[in-house]
Amino acid sequence: MRRLSYSLIGLPLGLLGLLYVAVTVLAGSVLSLTAIGLPFLAAGVRGARLLGRLHHGLARRLLGVTSIGPAPPRRSSGFTDWVKVGLTDRAGWQAVVYLILKAPIGLLAAAISIFFYGYGLAALSYPVWWRFIPAQPDKTGVPRSGLPLPGDIFLDTWTLALLASVVGAAMLLAGPMVLQVVLSLDRLAIAGLLGPGTLRDRVRELEQTRAFAVQDSAAALRRIERDLHDGAQARLVAMAMNLGAAKEQLDQSGADPKALELVDYAHRDAKEALVELRNLARGIHPPILDNGLDDALATLVARSRVPVDLTVSLTERPAQAVESIAYYCVAELLTNVAKHSRADRAAISVDQRDGALHLRVADHGQGGAEPRGGLAGLAERVRTVDGRLAISSPAGGPTIVTVELPCAS
Amino acid sequence: MRIVIAEDAAVLRDGMSHVLTLRGHEVAAAVATADDLLTAVAEHRPDVAIADIRMPPTHTDEGLRAAITIRRDHPETGVLVFSQYIETRYAADLLAGGAQKVGYLLKDRVADVGDFIDALTRVAAGGTVLDPDVVTQMFAVTRRADGLRDLTDREHDVLALMAEGRSNTAIAEQLSLAGTSVEKHITRIFSKLRLEATTSSHRRVLAVLHYLRS
């Protein structure tokens, strides 16, 4: 029944689609000699994409097609880009082709539906209504009842009526199968033209959305840190200062020692809260990173318990997310050097070549570092931007960890 | 003291103005940006300017850059710089123009109002005030620098207090030492750092700068 409705809806929709393509694409191509041609054509292709989505949605509903539609077109910036995206939208052009193919397929499907189901039903029920057909004269002028068939045959006996009924039943039974064949052509066209596109398209789309997610979370963390700094931290400092002033005031005015003690507690708590909040905020996003990776690494190294030789040479500023991952890599690796390596020196070098940021953290410690725990977590983090982390740490050292982070803009 | 405050968080700016006024100091101006700070210092010629390092528009180090400008253009004004985090690089930049009339403290330190005003007074009077955290971090750096490595733990302690801008008497008090033994420690520090004998206060600054730079 669903297939039947699909076929019947498909006919007007298919013809409409063909008309749409004929008008927009052809007119657009002709108009492309003028200024409005290309925008018109771009709008046409985008519209075809929408019609394609309508067809795809219908097929999902009524034919049980399970594929998902193509990814939405890239978001455009400005009118020219909008035209360009529209004209180069592969999925849009595929939808145009589908709309052209859909017209004959739809016509065929509708014809078969009408023939098999319509005639089948009529034939099946023939014994019920043949008696009501007014008599008509045959070739020899004898009035005959029943339906005339080509070749001067009249279905005017109960035997023939029952036979018609059997044929009708057979047609109704065969209908779905024949329809299936035609519709499988449609399915093929939908899969090929309205589906999610090639695997490569899908991979590219996933890469883009992941890159966006990674960048977005880096920006969000930065915002949170800044909000903490401007909001809660500033307020807490002001509060601690006022409590400090109150404490001194109470102390000098010889107030109730119990009150003084309480204010003293509150003052100390406020100061501890400040320390905790500062450590938390720094863990979220070290603000020195806003000055650039080289400054941030310099202060990281300055805080390290193991002396570090640091060389940084950056030709251009990497994306925020890459900077932040690089920073946390160096922080974690330096902690590891201090905790496990027993080395008395470490060397860090950072440089950019072949569209990637290369980090190298080396020490002449005891070696034996394994890609577990913190190091494994670091490798996972590096992979979120398609980076790579490699560890070389034979027993007895040296330990060399290299991290490669793509930063092509 | 006549003071100019630059701090972008209104709650803290107003709080500092209030506390300083209560303690009998004159807050000539309280502003929210580095540009306004420079204008206010030029106009009011304060004894000391207080600057938050991180201010709009970029929220990175405009306060520090303003402080360095003030030190260059208005050497008579002391500068006390505050920041949420201690960054050794900032301390080194700030002290590159000499260690007089300058201070660098963690923002939390204003919570101890007495110490805060004491630091302001010392800076206005020409002293150096460095946050204990700066000193701790410097030690991490300087322990490995040549010469500094030879210092004993006690000499490190003395040097740390010197870097905070304390006088010999204050150092002696803090470390429960006799004044003469503090002097002996300082002489040994100077010789280990190979600082030629000029005026003692000048050598003091050099000793402090020695770790800041290394």
Closest Cβ–Cβ partner in B9, B84, B111 for A244: B111
Model confidence at B144, pLDDT cuts 50, 70, 90, reads very low
CB contact under 8 A, A241 and B8: no
Residue tagged 């960890």 (tokens): A401
Q: Which residues touch B92 (CB under 8 Å, ≥6 apart)?
A: B212, B213
pLDDT at B52 over 90: yes
CB contact under 8 A, B9 and A241: no
pLDDT at A409 over 80: no
The predicted-structure confidence for A167-199, as pLDDT tens digits, reads as follows: 889 988 888 888 888 888 888 888 888 877 667
Closest Cβ–Cβ partner in A226, A303, A304 for B59: A226
CB contact under 8 A, B59 and A291: no
Measured CA distances, B152 to A164, A344, B143, B159, B164 (Å): 115, 19, 10, 10, 18
- For B91, the closest chain A residue by CA position comes to A299
> Which pLDDT score, from 0 to 100, does residue B138 have?
61
pLDDT at B211 over 60: no
Minimal CA–CA distance to B135: which of B116, B109, B161? B161
Q: Which residues touch A66 (CB under 8 Å, ≥6 apart)?
A: A60
Residue A242 distance to chain B (closest CA, Å) = 7
Q: What is the ipTM of this complex?
A: 0.75
Model confidence at B198, pLDDT cuts 50, 70, 90, reads very low
> Which pLDDT score, from 0 to 100, does residue B141 have?
52
- For B116, the closest chain A residue by CA position comes to A241
Among the residue ranges A139-148, A326-335, A354-363, the one predicted with the least confidence is A139-148
> Which pLDDT score, from 0 to 100, does residue A158 have?
80
| Under 8 Å between Cβ of A102 and A95 | no
CB contact under 8 A, B12 and A295: no
Task: Give the distance, in angstroms, between the CA of residue A321 and the centroid of all CA atoms in the same chain.
Answer: 19
Closest Cβ–Cβ partner in B85, B107, B141 for A302: B141
Model confidence at B143, pLDDT cuts 50, 70, 90, reads very low
Chain A residues with beta carbon closer than 8 angstroms to that of B114? 244, 248
Question: Using beta carbons and an 8 Å cutoff, which residues of A are at the interface with B?
Answer: 226, 229-230, 233-235, 237-238, 240-245, 248, 267, 270-271, 274-275, 278, 281-282, 286-288, 290-291, 295, 298-299, 302-305, 307
Residue B72 distance to chain A (closest CA, Å) = 23
Closest Cβ–Cβ partner in B22, B107, B140 for A237: B107
Q: What is the mean pLDDT of residues B10-32?
A: 94
As a whole number of angstroms, the distance between CA B26 and CA B40 comes to: 14
> Which pLDDT score, from 0 to 100, does residue A77 have?
78
> Which pLDDT score, from 0 to 100, does residue B206 have?
63
The predicted-structure confidence for A232-254, as pLDDT tens digits, reads as follows: 999 999 999 999 999 999 988 88
CB contact under 8 A, A271 and B8: no
State residue A143 phi and psi, 5-degree precision. Answer: -65, 130
Residue tagged 């960054």 (tokens): B87
The predicted-structure confidence for A346-369, as pLDDT tens digits, reads as follows: 999 999 988 899 999 999 988 888
Torsion over CA of B17, B20, B23 and B24, rounded to 10 degrees? -80
- For B133, the closest chain A residue by CA position comes to A303
Residue A230 distance to chain B (closest CA, Å) = 6
> Which pLDDT score, from 0 to 100, does residue A359 have?
95
The predicted-structure confidence for A362-391, as pLDDT tens digits, reads as follows: 999 888 888 788 889 899 999 988 899 999
| A287 preceded by a cis bond (ω within 30 of 0) | no
CB contact under 8 A, A290 and B60: yes
- Residue A186 token pair: 């449609």
CB contact under 8 A, A287 and B54: yes
Model confidence at A10, pLDDT cuts 50, 70, 90, reads confident
Among the residue ranges A2-16, A68-82, A304-318, the one predicted with the least confidence is A68-82
Question: Using beta carbons and an 8 Å cutoff, which residues of B are at the interface with A?
Answer: 8-9, 11-12, 14-16, 19, 22, 54, 58-61, 84-85, 87-89, 107-108, 110-114, 116, 137, 140-141, 143-144
As a whole number of angstroms, the distance between CA B48 and CA A260 comes to: 32
Beta pairing partners, A405: A357
pLDDT at B201 over 60: no
Q: What pTM was computed for the model?
A: 0.62
> Which pLDDT score, from 0 to 100, does residue A134 have?
76
CB contact under 8 A, B89 and A267: no
High-pLDDT (> 70) share of chain A, %: 99
Chain B residues with beta carbon closer than 8 angstroms to that of A238? 9, 11-12, 14-16
CB contact under 8 A, A248 and B114: yes
Sign of the alpha-carbon dihedral angle for A337, A341, A347, A353: negative
CB contact under 8 A, A234 and B12: yes
pLDDT at B13 over 50: yes
pLDDT at B200 over 90: no
Q: What is the mean pLDDT of residues B70-93?
A: 87
Minimal CA–CA distance to B204: which of B114, B122, B128, B147? B128
3-class DSSP state of A350: strand
The CB-based long-range contact list for B16-25 (8 Å cut-off, 24+ gap) reads: B16/A238, B16/A241, B16/B50, B16/B110, B19/A241, B19/A242, B19/A245, B19/B113, B20/B117, B22/A245, B23/B113, B23/B117, B25/B1, B25/B117, B25/B120
Model confidence at A33, pLDDT cuts 50, 70, 90, reads confident
State residue A309 phi and psi, 5-degree precision. Answer: -95, 115
> Which pLDDT score, from 0 to 100, does residue B214 have?
45
The predicted-structure confidence for A201-226, as pLDDT tens digits, reads as follows: 778 778 888 888 988 998 899 999 98
- Residue A301 token pair: 């190294």
Chain A residues with beta carbon closer than 8 angstroms to that of B14? 238
- Residue A305 token pair: 């318990």
As a whole number of angstroms, the distance between CA A192 and CA A90 comes to: 12
Round the average pLDDT of chain B to a whole number and report it: 84
Residue tagged 């322990």 (tokens): B143
Minimal CA–CA distance to A214: which of A17, A334, A22, A385? A385
CB contact under 8 A, A291 and B16: no
Among the residue ranges A257-266, A274-283, A320-329, B81-90, the one predicted with the least confidence is B81-90
pLDDT at B197 over 80: no
Round the average pLDDT of chain A to a whole number and report it: 86
pLDDT at B199 over 50: no
